[in-house]
Chains A and B, each alone.
Chain A
Amino acid sequence: EVQLLESGGALVQPGGSLRLSCAASGLTFSSYVMSWVRQAPGKGLEWVSGISDSGGNTYYADSVKGRFTVSRDNSKNTLYLQMNSLRAEDTAVYYCAKDGTFWSGYGYYYYIDVWGKGTTVIVSS
């Protein structure tokens, strides 16, 4: 069974930093694109960041670009999210997610097929 387990969430002051980790098991971690998705209290889902299977390509939502850095260690089956210059609006549950792909014969389709349980980040003074 594929499992993703996030850790590192905490209460942090505005302007502070935090690093989230996601330990993956039950899959060949190095074969998959991975994402971070967040959900502010009482709000909807927001895709935050993604990273290619090798780690060579990284992607960010405009809302976090320049402040967050995604990385992975395939030897440790672990995904990371370094969050700097945190703001109140970054308060959310952060989910680690595995991207799935489907070849239709005409092109690749993507989706998120495995989610972690989430870790809570609260940015407040």
Chain B
Amino acid sequence: DIQLTQSPSFLSASVGDRVTITCRASQGISTYLAWYQQKPGKAPKLLIYAASTLQSGVPSRFSGSGSGTEFTLTITSLQPEDFATYYCQQLNRYPSWTFGQGTKVEIK
């Protein structure tokens, strides 16, 4: 099975900060990666798919990059509503889809 490791697991940041979250795959997955945002008590929300394609309606301050085994999610100017937990998901080999363990972004 393909394992995904996110780093950091937790980060503390201020409004306006640039934030980068990394997701590393245990084997190459091309660009078959998605990113989700989840707020407490809510379902996840799709942000990015195919590693770098922004889902419709998602603010442009979110961006994704990478291929193979290393991927990043960047938030260029953190807004109050961005404080949440972020997950990457590999969709390289259906049906064995897996998620990273999550990165919690909290207010400094």
Residue ranges of A at the interface with B (Cβ–Cβ < 8 Å): 35, 44-47, 50, 59-62, 95, 100, 102, 104, 109-113, 115-118
Task: Say yes or no: A102-B99 contact (C-beta < 8 A), given A95-B43, A112-B34, A116-B43.
Answer: no
**Closest Cβ–Cβ distance, residue A71 to chain B (whole Å):** 15
Residue B98 at the A interface, CB < 8 A?
yes
Please measure, in the bound complex, the distance between the C-alpha atom of A107 and the C-alpha atom of B100, giving whole angstroms.
Answer: 23
Residue B95 at the A interface, CB < 8 A?
yes
Would you call A44 and B43 a contact (CB within 8 A)? no
| Residues 63-108 (chain B) with a chain A CB within 8 angstroms | 87, 89, 91, 94-102
Residue B39 at the A interface, CB < 8 A?
no
Would you call A44 and B32 a contact (CB within 8 A)? no
**Closest Cβ–Cβ distance, residue A65 to chain B (whole Å):** 11
Would you call A44 and B87 a contact (CB within 8 A)? yes
The 8 Å CB contact of B34, one of A60, A104, A111, A115, is A111
* Nearest-neighbor residue (CB-CB) of B102 within chain A: A44
Judged by DSSP, the binding face of A is strand
Would you call A109 and B94 a contact (CB within 8 A)? no
Residue B45 at the A interface, CB < 8 A?
yes
Please measure, in the bound complex, the distance between the C-alpha atom of A118 and the C-alpha atom of B43, giving whole angstroms.
Answer: 7
Would you call A109 and B49 a contact (CB within 8 A)? yes
Residues of B within 8 A of A113 (CB): 46, 49, 55
Residue B16 at the A interface, CB < 8 A?
no
Residue B26 at the A interface, CB < 8 A?
no
Would you call A45 and B87 a contact (CB within 8 A)? yes
Would you call B49 and A47 a contact (CB within 8 A)? no
Would you call A111 and B43 a contact (CB within 8 A)? no
* Nearest-neighbor residue (CB-CB) of A33 within chain B: B94
Would you call A111 and B99 a contact (CB within 8 A)? no
Residues of A within 8 A of B45 (CB): 115
